[in-house]
Amino acid sequence: MMSLSVARRLIEIQRVLVRHGLDEFVTATHLYRPLRFLYFLQPSTWSERRRGASRGERLRLALEELGPIFIKFGQAVSTRRDLLPTDIADELAKLQDRVPPFPDAAALAAIERSLGQPVDAVFGSFETSPLAAASIAQVHGATLKDGREVVVKVLRPGMHAIIRRDLEVLYAFARLALAYVPDAARLRPLEVVGEYDKTIMDELDLMREAANAAQLRRNFAGSPLLYVPEVHFDLCRSDVLVMERIRGIQISNMDRLRELQVDFQKLAEHGVEIFFTQMLHHNFFHADMHPGNIFVLADDPKNPRYAAVDFGIIGTLEPRDLEYIAGNFMAFFERDYRRIAELHIESGWVPAGARVNELESAVRTVCEPIFQKPLDQISFGIVLLRLFEVARRFQMTVQPQLVLLQKTLLNIEGLGRDLYPQLDLWKTAQPLMREWYRRRLRPRALLKDARHHLPEVIESLRATPPLLRRLVREAEASPRLIGSRDAGQAQVAEAVRASGRRRDQTIIAATVLALGVLWLAVAEPWWPGGLAAAAAVGFLLARR
């Protein structure tokens, strides 16, 4: 049953769309059709309608009025200029950092309340006019008492209540879809909204964002590709974040980048490399890569470097999902359509009853015509849209945990194509994928995995003696299982002695394995430890 607050919000959304002259969105939505005539007949609605504005401007203004969740949708869509009409793309790009700010006095009051002291006592200087305003927060320039430049990010007032209200609306839409749309169960709308719920509520905690920034900074320490600003944790709170100020060029400022003769091809390829490095090697990726969050450090225009801000949305993958995603990428690069089909079934994304040869044929039908084009004309976004058609036929369920990754990759490709239209995503990414696979198969990587699981192995060994004692007691209490009690006791005694010998041998092998892994981690040359660990692993596997 839909709550009264959700119903009111749905009516409010319709009113905003109609008032901004976006009648086609209302007309196209089945949910609104019974109500839309009420608004078309109201004189107040027509008197408030925006006249003379372009469709892009009307759409942007409507999204701004509807609030953070709708603004974020506009931000995400704006990164794919190759898939949008130019007028709409230009207007939606303004949502990236030019959302109307909230009053300066409210921002100052929020900062002073969180820090527990006046702004003048904390900062050497503070700019009351914001540098940028986004959907859930705005940023002010400041300096610390020692003169270092920083930015101060502060949440908009009442954000938690506003976000929670619109999440209820999204859940209501998801439930309606499940009830009335035949294909909705496969799309798992409730789970998708649930993932978005966690993502955006995490984004409202600026202490979490500070921790994300610190982790990303460690991951790229010394990297020539990406610079992450320093966080001042002593001045961070759940609704206030203070970090180093970046003096770079916003990536959307193409004219300035051209003026400096920045190497656009290298910049675009570096963006792809950064994404795949984050996904494959760190499993920790910036998942809000719209142009408002990306700057270019062009001290050396021939070797430009990215600088990122806004770390509220970070993506990670379960190891199993990462393996399947990487496998699909590699199979796609190599046109191994059968492997793609097998991976989809093995992962559970496609029902187990699906026939591999039929899925292989369907994927080939989508991909082969695309590969007939030059690689720099292949859009990952178009490939995804075509594969969604295949997914519907084979009842493939949406994987909510992968939605953030797909969105980020689409953003990265869109951004790269803006910088360098000839960007060959596949050529840039393929060497990174191959290197990741090579690293995964190196003995040292395999032994690192063994070291990771070693505590579990040792814990299992510790549990062995109690388990054996229990088996002995059960055997003594059940003579039928061993013929006679005396014979059974003799057999059990021998089994216990043999088990003890095996346990001692296993403990010795596990100890050798642990010492070998420790040698690999801290000593040079590495090969003695590698040989010892490999021998121990071989012994343990042989005894299984």
Asked if the model's pLDDT at residue 278 lies above 70, the reply is: yes
Same domain, 11 and 55: yes
Strand order from edge to edge, sheet including 294-297: 226-227, 305-308, 294-297, 249-250
Same domain, 460 and 385: no
Same domain, 378 and 478: no
Structural domain of 175? 159-201
- Active-site residue flag, 288: yes
- Taking only the tens place, the pLDDT of each residue in 518-535 is 555 555 555 566 666 666
Average pLDDT of every residue of the chain: 78
Q: Is residue 24 within 8 Å of residue 59, measured between CB atoms?
A: no
- Which of the residue ranges 235-239, 288-292, 505-509 would you say has the lowest mean pLDDT? 505-509
pLDDT of residue 220: 96
Asked if the model's pLDDT at residue 305 lies above 90, the reply is: yes
Measured CA to CA, the distance from residue 126 to residue 129 in angstroms comes to 9
pLDDT of residue 86: 78
Q: Give CA 428 to chain center in angstroms.
A: 21
Same domain, 338 and 481: no
- Taking only the tens place, the pLDDT of each residue in 261-274 is 999 999 988 988 99
Looking at the domain assignment, is residue 228 inside a domain? no
Same domain, 360 and 508: no
* Best CA proximity match to 134, nearest among 299, 288, 244, 345: 288
Measured CA to CA, the distance from residue 332 to residue 341 in angstroms comes to 11
Asked if the model's pLDDT at residue 299 lies above 50, the reply is: yes
Indicate which residue of 239, 288, 418, 424 is catalytic: 288
pLDDT of residue 303: 92
Total domain count, the chain: 4
* Best CA proximity match to 96, nearest among 72, 120, 115, 67: 72
What is the helix (H) or strand (E) element at residue 96, kind and residue range? none
Measured CA to CA, the distance from residue 61 to residue 480 in angstroms comes to 81
Q: 114: pLDDT confidence band, cut at 50, 70 and 90?
A: very high
The number of beta carbons lying within 10 Å of the beta carbon of residue 4 is 7
Burial of residue 88, with CB atoms counted within 10 A of its CB: 0-12 exposed, 13-18 middle, 19 or more buried? buried
- Which of the residue ranges 174-188, 321-335, 371-385 would you say has the lowest mean pLDDT? 371-385
Token output for 292: 């408002």
Same domain, 279 and 395: yes
Q: 228: pLDDT confidence band, cut at 50, 70 and 90?
A: very high
Eight-class DSSP state of 241: E
Looking at the domain assignment, is residue 398 inside a domain? yes
Q: Is 335 left (phi over 0), alpha (psi -120 to 50) or beta?
A: left
Same domain, 458 and 422: no
